[in-house]
Amino acid sequence: MNPKKILPLALIPLTGLSAQNTVTSDSRPNIILFMVDDMGWQDTSLPFWKERTPLNERYHTPNMERLASQGMMFTQAYACAVSSPTRVSLMTGMNAARHRVTNWTLEKNSSTDRKSEVLQFPEWNVNGICQVPGIPFTYEVTSLPQLLKNSGYHTIHCGKAHWGAIDTPGENPHHFGFEVNIAGHAGGGIASFYGEQNYGNRVDGKPSPLQAVPGLEKYWGTETFATEALTLEAIKALDKAKNLGQPFYLYMAHYAIHIPIDKDQRFYKKYIDGGLSEKEAAYAALIEGMDKSLGDLMDWLEENKLDDNTVIIFMSDNGGFSTSTQWRDAPLHRQNAPLNSGKGSAYEGGIRVPMIVRWPETVPPNTRCNDYLIVEDFFPTLLDMAQVKSREVKQPVDGISFLPMLEGKQTDDNRRALYWHYPNLWGNEGPGIGTTSTVRKGDWKLVYYYETGEKELFNITEDIGETTNRATQKPRLVQQLSKELGEYLRNVEAQRPIFKTTGKMCPWPDEI
Amino acid sequence: MNPKKILPLALIPLTGLSAQNTVTSDSRPNIILFMVDDMGWQDTSLPFWKERTPLNERYHTPNMERLASQGMMFTQAYACAVSSPTRVSLMTGMNAARHRVTNWTLEKNSSTDRKSEVLQFPEWNVNGICQVPGIPFTYEVTSLPQLLKNSGYHTIHCGKAHWGAIDTPGENPHHFGFEVNIAGHAGGGIASFYGEQNYGNRVDGKPSPLQAVPGLEKYWGTETFATEALTLEAIKALDKAKNLGQPFYLYMAHYAIHIPIDKDQRFYKKYIDGGLSEKEAAYAALIEGMDKSLGDLMDWLEENKLDDNTVIIFMSDNGGFSTSTQWRDAPLHRQNAPLNSGKGSAYEGGIRVPMIVRWPETVPPNTRCNDYLIVEDFFPTLLDMAQVKSREVKQPVDGISFLPMLEGKQTDDNRRALYWHYPNLWGNEGPGIGTTSTVRKGDWKLVYYYETGEKELFNITEDIGETTNRATQKPRLVQQLSKELGEYLRNVEAQRPIFKTTGKMCPWPDEI
């Protein structure tokens, strides 16, 4: 190499600049998808219901309020009831019934289904998704970040991935077209949020737990809470990104506010002083620490004059955790009130999540959209936002772009049917938690339980808490929704459990 | 998440395994491209010439000997005279005259050309290559690792990248489809090989030099020489790769044996004891440390029973450094003897490099191939090896697959013309170092100097040392080669320097 000082080329007169060198600046918007883990619909001071609730009073999320004042809140945004199915749908545009990553993933070739005496669960895609053929128990896909990258976006992953099992290609965000990966791996939680505990990594030579998070080594032994460490690293990546001459896609996927509900000391004392129990103060602090991260990213955009051309989407991957007193105070299943139940449930508490979109010039500020949508819709919507023309993908895409909603146009999306499919059994118990398929159409929602054959019908518009099963009152509607649900599931080749006693497949919802 | 122990799926009877889940094991070969930096043709105990030389006696490279005994040596393998042009040709299949990354890259929008009183150099692609449009002073390409990744390979970069300037998309191997990046960035050298010096990274808050290597933090403050640190990390990546169910491509691109010629203490004393000077002992130790890395990788393949289905290609990016007594003993320009000159030169010492290919079943062991080839030929050859069918790329491909040579077939490749183009000026001076274009065809080689209009003609077969300029004796051959060279350069839209005094373009070789 030559240590001599070099003249900047701009000082040298042109000698015939080639077409290759012509600057064609890419003015497509930057996109930040701010994805929170296990955040319930009420885990915020921003009211997503028609009324302010006691939980809205309890939590402080000033930056979500700031974001909402600049954009559009979605009051009926849906995810799946657990993490991997939601995240896979986001990456692929497929409904969970089709991609078959219907429960959460972790170890290779191993199911995370709770054992049932009655049902034998199908061989779902326990290894998640991947972009290459021939990997057992995976669905081969073309991912959202890959398409964005191919179209010229600089793609950054920060935080939780949770699309593929350990030692499979899908465990690593780089395999899906992310050019930067900060702390993403197979794990769907964090062993510890504490820098003092090295985020769960052991340094005594013994094996670290599977949920010990990689890539934050520089913060080990410091007091940096994981939420903050991820934010600092994301901002470093953005500082690099702004020089590259490309639009960027930042998938900011916090490990917060998933368990363990560790104490974010930046905010914990405030909630203790406000009278909350230790557990609930820790939860509130975990939320506010996440909210600060959102604010820090918004500040960065403003400081760098990139706020005008950057979309921010706020989202959660499933409802709030509500099934154990290990982390939250009793009563259980009320932590997402007025919604019933929480994470893992087919009820609204498990699947309805907070969502906000801010996009100057396109999305009118300080607005609410009551149309419903579901997480696989993100896939075509983000491709629309990014003006991606080349969309050849390996998988069928079920999602529908909600760009019209963002533009404030009238849609008839609330007449469409949304589907959930969970031929599995989650770890904890509670209302609406079971081996279920579910359809929402208009005001109505049908939940079908494979183990018992039971069907529940709720009018979500009138009875958001799903307290009154109207199935016996409305047999024709039950039949009609059952038929639609059954036809859909067969059409996408959904999997079904088997009755252990008979060895026979459980009936589809329209076969009983 | 559910902490309960999980049944391996294999224990659960099938309930209708989908086609997606059928294992279709990918049996294409793994590929390791072992690329050494600035390694001269004689920097080895393995004789690439028809005779053993004193340099062959001086250096110890037992693993290169081991590799050669299992494969094919190439005695006339060519690269460009400096790093980035070679590496870009490898990544793209383009000749340097076409891709216009004709000199080495480092800082954005800045040329590394030495200043000339006579010539003004063209606006070459000082920012290197990238995979996105609209980046000034770059060539937009589809890269070799991207094609390998798209076809299902797991792609690992280890060591030096040097394809793109700082703060451009091309600086980061992840942007080119590498799924793992170990210590690769914009820099084309390493600030220090010493772990004790953190590989050049400063920890006192002052800015690190641009050649401080990232990503090896865990070895900071240890006695781990960079060559060893890279090898350890590469093997970790291979330990992961072997579980993924994909063939892998490892681009093992050592920072060795580029300057600084730091002392690899694992081997240094041996050469001092053998009577070498400190500088030459350090150089010999740097070589043997690199050779040990090769051996460690070969050992790993054998231990993991992957040696049968893994191609290893050994290559260097340009000739040995021979232009300064700061690092090597005098006499200068003799460090690649019998070749004349070294790195930066159009003479054989600058461009002829050691190359070996080992591929059981395909390449006959312990053989030599005297056909010539050039580094852009690697692109189509590796795609052939990997059986990549989808080869749609953004750039024209100049390289020609040398798979027939590997299979021991007769070729007429020694009747084809090879081209070099360097419309720049390197940092140091020496024989054949200048602003040149060069053609090799059959036994003959013509070097054209833009500054003086001078032409040199050598019979490479009879006069490998390029001691006798035959231009005046063979005017018709000079004219014929000049024409061929000029036509080629115009055809690929090569760039030319300008005479500062007149402002006019320098003539093409066939215009003078």
Sheet (strand A436-441) strand order? A417-422, A436-441, A444-449, A455-459
pLDDT score for B412: 74
Residues comprising chain B, all counted = 512
B392-405 pLDDT, tens digit each = 999 999 999 999 99
pLDDT score for A339: 98
Alpha carbon separation from A367 to A72, A356, A358, A363, B419 (Å, rounded): 5, 10, 10, 9, 64
Cβ contacts of A427 on chain B, cutoff 8 Å: 1-4
pLDDT score for A414: 80
For residue A168, give the nearest of B14, B21, B244 by CB distance.
B244
- A222 pLDDT more than 90: yes
SS3 B120: strand
- B17 pLDDT more than 80: no
Cβ of A409 under 8 Å from any chain B Cβ? no
pLDDT score for B1: 37
Side-chain half-sphere CA neighbours of B100 within 13 A: 31
B336-384 pLDDT, tens digit each = 999 999 999 999 999 999 999 999 999 999 999 999 999 999 999 999 9
Task: Please tell me the distance from the alpha carbon of residue B432 to that of residue B469, in angstroms, as a whole number.
Answer: 12
- A18 pLDDT more than 80: no
* Residues in A 457-496 with any Cβ partner in B closer than 8 A: 493, 495-496
From A284-288, A394-398, B2-6, B191-195, the region with the lowest mean pLDDT: B2-6
Helix axes A278-303, A226-241, angle to 10 degrees: 10
pLDDT score for B6: 40
Cβ contacts of A259 on chain B, cutoff 8 Å: 1
- B11 pLDDT more than 50: no
- B21 pLDDT more than 80: no
What is the token pair recorded at B442? 């059959």
Task: Please tell me the distance from the alpha carbon of residue B349 to that of residue B342, in angstroms, as a whole number.
Answer: 4
What residue of A is the nearest CA neighbor of B428? A2
Cβ of B512 under 8 Å from any chain A Cβ? no
CB pairs under 8 A between A and B: 201
What is the token pair recorded at A304? 């760098």
Beta strands in A260-413 (DSSP E): 310-316, 352-358, 367-374
Please tell me what DSSP assigns to residue A294.
H
pLDDT score for B151: 97
Task: Please tell me the distance from the alpha carbon of residue A294 to that of residue A354, in angstroms, as a whole number.
Answer: 14
Cβ contacts of B168 on chain A, cutoff 8 Å: 243-245
Test B125 with A498 for CB contact under 8 angstroms.
no
Cβ contacts of B13 on chain A, cutoff 8 Å: 120
pLDDT bin (cut points 50, 70, 90) of residue B411 is confident
Please tell me what DSSP assigns to residue A413.
G
Residues above pLDDT 70, as percent of chain B: 95
For residue A17, give the nearest of B123, B218, B505 by CB distance.
B123
Test B6 with A100 for CB contact under 8 angstroms.
no
pLDDT bin (cut points 50, 70, 90) of residue B18 is very low
CB A126 within 8 A of CB A120: no
pLDDT score for B4: 39
* Residues in A 40-99 with any Cβ partner in B closer than 8 A: none
CATH class of B26-410: alpha beta
Residue B439 vs residue B11, higher pLDDT: B439
B28-38 pLDDT, tens digit each = 999 999 999 99
Task: Please tell me the distance from the alpha carbon of residue A80 to that of residue A82, in angstroms, as a whole number.
Answer: 6
CB B229 within 8 A of CB B255: no
Test B428 with A123 for CB contact under 8 angstroms.
no
A176-219 pLDDT, tens digit each = 999 999 999 999 999 999 999 999 999 999 999 999 999 999 99
From A166-170, A262-266, B136-140, B406-410, the region with the lowest mean pLDDT: B406-410
Q: Write out the DSSP string of B19-79.
A: GGG------PPEEEEEEESS--TTSSSS--SSS--HHHHH---HHHHHHHHHSEEEEEEE-
Mutate to test the interface with B, among A21, A172, A508 (most CBs of B within 10 A): A21
Test A136 with B23 for CB contact under 8 angstroms.
yes
Cβ of A239 under 8 Å from any chain B Cβ? no
What's the Rg (C-alpha) of chain A?
A: 23
A94-118 average pLDDT score: 98
The dihedrals phi and psi of B297, each to the nearest 5 degrees, come to: -70, -40
- A11 pLDDT more than 60: no
A10-25 average pLDDT score: 42
Cβ of B19 under 8 Å from any chain A Cβ? no
Test B23 with A114 for CB contact under 8 angstroms.
no
Cβ of B243 under 8 Å from any chain A Cβ? yes
* Residues in A 288-347 with any Cβ partner in B closer than 8 A: none
Task: Please tell me the distance from the alpha carbon of residue B445 to that of residue A341, in angstroms, as a whole number.
Answer: 80
* Domain range summary for chain B, segments of one domain joined by +: 26-410
B222-281 pLDDT, tens digit each = 999 999 999 999 999 999 999 999 999 999 999 999 999 999 999 999 999 999 999 999
Mutate to test the interface with B, among A18, A100, A154 (most CBs of B within 10 A): A18
Task: Please tell me the distance from the alpha carbon of residue B88 to that of residue A185, in angstroms, as a whole number.
Answer: 31
Cβ of B15 under 8 Å from any chain A Cβ? yes
pLDDT, mean over chain B: 94
A271-294 average pLDDT score: 98
For residue A1, give the nearest of B104, B126, B136 by CB distance.
B104
- A5 pLDDT more than 80: no
pLDDT score for B14: 34
Test B167 with A21 for CB contact under 8 angstroms.
no
A298-312 average pLDDT score: 98
Test B122 with A167 for CB contact under 8 angstroms.
no
Options 3.40.720.10, 1.10.3210.10, 3.40.50.970, 3.40.50.10860; CATH of A26-414: 3.40.720.10
- B8 pLDDT more than 90: no
Mutate to test the interface with B, among A6, A111, A130 (most CBs of B within 10 A): A6
pLDDT score for B26: 87
pLDDT, mean over chain A: 94
The dihedrals phi and psi of B449, each to the nearest 5 degrees, come to: -105, 120
Cβ of B135 under 8 Å from any chain A Cβ? yes
Mutate to test the interface with A, among B246, B429, B489 (most CBs of A within 10 A): B246
pLDDT score for B210: 97
Cβ contacts of B3 on chain A, cutoff 8 Å: 427
Q: Write out the DSSP string of A117-171.
A: SSEE-----TTBEESSTT-TT-EE---HHHHHHHTT-EEEEEE---SB-TTSGGG
Cβ contacts of B113 on chain A, cutoff 8 Å: 6
pLDDT bin (cut points 50, 70, 90) of residue B492 is very high
pLDDT bin (cut points 50, 70, 90) of residue A358 is very high
Cβ of A498 under 8 Å from any chain B Cβ? yes
Task: Please tell me the distance from the alpha carbon of residue B418 to that of residue B442, in angstroms, as a whole number.
Answer: 9
Q: Give the closest-approach CA distance of A50 to chain B in angstroms.
A: 32
B189-210 average pLDDT score: 97
SS3 B19: helix
- B23 pLDDT more than 90: no
pLDDT bin (cut points 50, 70, 90) of residue B65 is very high
Cβ of B239 under 8 Å from any chain A Cβ? no
B181-205 average pLDDT score: 97
Amino acid at A348: E
Task: Please tell me the distance from the alpha carbon of residue A346 to that of residue B233, in angstroms, as a whole number.
Answer: 45
Test A179 with B180 for CB contact under 8 angstroms.
no
- A412 pLDDT more than 50: yes
Closest by CA to B423, choosing from B161, B82, B108, is B82
pLDDT score for B10: 38
pLDDT score for A411: 78
- B5 pLDDT more than 60: no
Sheet (strand A367-374) strand order? A180-182, A154-159, A248-253, A30-36, A310-316, A352-358, A72-78, A367-374
* Angle at alpha carbon of residue A340, lines to A339 and A341, rounded to 5°: 120
- B294 pLDDT more than 50: yes
For residue A167, give the nearest of B169, B172, B243 by CB distance.
B243
- B12 pLDDT more than 50: no
